Amino acid sequence: MLAYASHTNSSRNLEKLREYGWRLLRTPFTTGKSNHGFRYGLDNGAWHAHQAGEPFDQMAFERLLSDYGDGSDWIVSPDIVCGGVESLEMSVSWIPRLQKYGVPILIPVQDGMVASDLREHLSESVGIFVGGSTEFKEGTAALWGKLARERRAYLHVGRVNTVRRIAICGAAGADSFDGSGASKFSSTVRRLSIAARQRDLFSPKGSGV
Domain boundaries, the chain: 2-197
Quick: pLDDT tens for 103-157: 999 999 999 999 999 999 999 999 999 999 899 999 999 999 999 999 999 999 9
Quick: pLDDT tens for 20-31: 999 999 999 999
61: number of Cβ within 10 Å: 23
**Residue 209 pLDDT grade (very low, low, confident, very high; cuts 50, 70, 90):** very low
Give the residue-averaged pLDDT of 90-105. Answer: 98
pLDDT at residue 73 tops 90: yes
How confident is the model at residue 207, as a pLDDT? 42
How confident is the model at residue 199, as a pLDDT? 61
Question: The whole model's pTM is what?
Answer: 0.93
Cα R_g (the chain), whole angstroms: 16
Is domain 2-197 given the CATH code 3.40.50.1220 in the classification? no
**Residue 49 pLDDT grade (very low, low, confident, very high; cuts 50, 70, 90):** confident
